[in-house]
Amino acid sequence: MDSATTRKAIDLSHHLNELSRSRVASPLKDIIKYMKEPGIISLAGGLPHPSFFPFGEMNTKVYAPAVDLHSSEEPSWPIELFIPKNASSSHKNTLSAALQYGSSYGSVSLSSFIREFTSRVMAPAYSDFEILLHSGNTDAWNKVVNILCEYGDYILVEEYTYPSAQALWAPMGCRGVPISIDKDGLVPESLKSTLKKWEHTHPGVKRPHLLYSVPVGHNPTGATLSVERKKAIYKICVDFDIIICEDDPYYFLQFPPYVFPSQRKPQKTGGSSDITSENMAFNRQAYVESLVPTFLSLDVQGRVIRLDTFSKTLGPGNRLGYFVCNPLFAERLLRATEVTTQAPSGLSQALVEELLNTWGQEGYLRWLMGLRDSYTTRRNWMCDIIAENFDLLPSPLNIVDDVVAVQKGHGLTKEVVPFFSFSFPKGGMFLWIRIFLVSNATYQNMKTTSSSNAIATARWAEAFWMDLIKEKILLTPGSYYTPIIGVNERMVQEPDVVFFRLAFSFETREMMQTGIERMANVFNRWWM
């Protein structure tokens, strides 16, 4: 049998759209190639002279990879990074290069670091994968759509999908094909059923050939696909010749199962009860094995285009990430990059390159483990505070979430009125609540004055959201994530239910406490 070290990606060129097939290489790349010849004098390129760049050098301080982010004391920045204007024997990473026009491939040194990291942590299942830098996953997804999709194509998406991911293909006349998700992510049986029935449900219409998925810490639901589901989904995509776009910004923010405070092991710093930077010496292998394997690690054909980003690990303002994909797709993405963004910010590349090469492979993994621990703690804060302000009951069989929230002090009454249900997030930054409207008197009154249940639901959601805002608590309406399935048309919503997304990534514990208390006040008022 072939192994990952000898296996090559198969030919998937039939997936390219007409625009991508028509792109040619920029002729300027030949000039850049010859400019690197030893001894050559270039009067060809229109490069500004580096002496006219007003920046002399860059000095900054950064955390050590093992910094305790839970400490009540202000963390120190013991590592100093230095990027000089010009190269020397000790510094090849320079501002002269970072601020100059550069290759659309991106930094060779940074790409080399990423390739080694990808090989060690993601373990791609074929050998000729390519790394190509991009300007963040939204930029990357835009480029994927523009090499694979024709005007009017259908795209397979989760039934709740990040709005910007849809907004970029909607003007192309593309339409989403919603695939059911539950608390564990995309449901393989739903994907298979949709594809098997396609010719019957959409006679004469080209079957979708692209699946867009956020498999870890799904935005907005917080669900994380298991490796078993990923294997099932990948097999279906092989059987139906589907390309998988694995948009995975939250991959390193995977959490152990939530445990209620009364059942939680005591912690010195409030971290999770799983592998933490505080209670365990760093074990690279144990940490990597704790992560759910990627679609990339299962991909023996090269049909996964993986989108990775530093936005959630080093800061979104860097606008820096990378594709991992087969050579054919990488070359077509490169051609598209040459005539659009050209390359990610040179300053961002230089800064991230200097940081990662200073930390090293082990240091970066150590940092990621500390981040996972910190976001686990934040997840716990939010779930703990919700449990303090509502009674949480195990969900009945007809509700797919983990728990149902009812008014505080009413959990043991005979007639329990559910406010909402949710599942404890397994990754990412978000908690997704499902509000039940059947028992709400305001909603029932709105139904009598609305032409349809859908209109009544939308009216109620808007009024409830505005009341939350008056109470000085802001949530994201779930309607924002409804797939676009046609011109000015979105997926039909579940009847008598409204969704909202809560983020635990930013506010302090004290602010979360105040915010969820305010949210509880609004719920209590609307169900009086």
Alpha-helix residue ranges (DSSP H) falling in 134-245 = 137-148, 163-167, 188-196, 198-201, 227-239
pLDDT at residue number 267: 59
Query: Domain ranges in the chain?
Result: 375-526
* Residue 136 backbone class (left: φ over 0; alpha: ψ -120 to 50; beta: rest): left
Torsion angle of the four alpha carbons 163, 165, 169, 173, in this order, in degrees rounded to the nearest 10: -40
Q: What tens digit of pLDDT does each residue of 125-158 get?
A: 999 999 999 999 999 999 999 999 999 999 999 9
Closest CA to 57 of 88, 17, 27, 32: 88
Tokens of 442: 């305001």
Neighbours of 411 (CB within 10 A): 14
Q: What tens digit of pLDDT does each residue of 412-424 get?
A: 666 788 999 999 9
Q: What tens digit of pLDDT does each residue of 298-345 get?
A: 999 999 999 999 999 999 999 999 999 999 999 999 999 988 988 999
pLDDT at residue number 484: 85
Tokens of 258: 């939530």
Strand partners, 392: 405
Intervals of the chain under pLDDT 50:
269-280
pLDDT at residue number 278: 44
Rounded CA-CA distance 479/500 in Å is: 8
pLDDT > 70: percent of the chain = 96
The fourth-level CATH superfamily of domain 375-526 is Aspartate Aminotransferase, domain 1 (3.90.1150.10)
- What is the chain's mean pLDDT, rounded? 92
Name the DSSP class of 120: I
Non-local CB neighbours of 218 within 8 Å, separated by 6+ positions: 158, 160, 181, 185, 224, 427, 428
Name the DSSP class of 427: B
pLDDT at residue number 414: 65
Angle at CA 139, nearest 5°, toward 178 and 429?
Answer: 65
Entry pTM: 0.92
pLDDT at residue number 46: 86
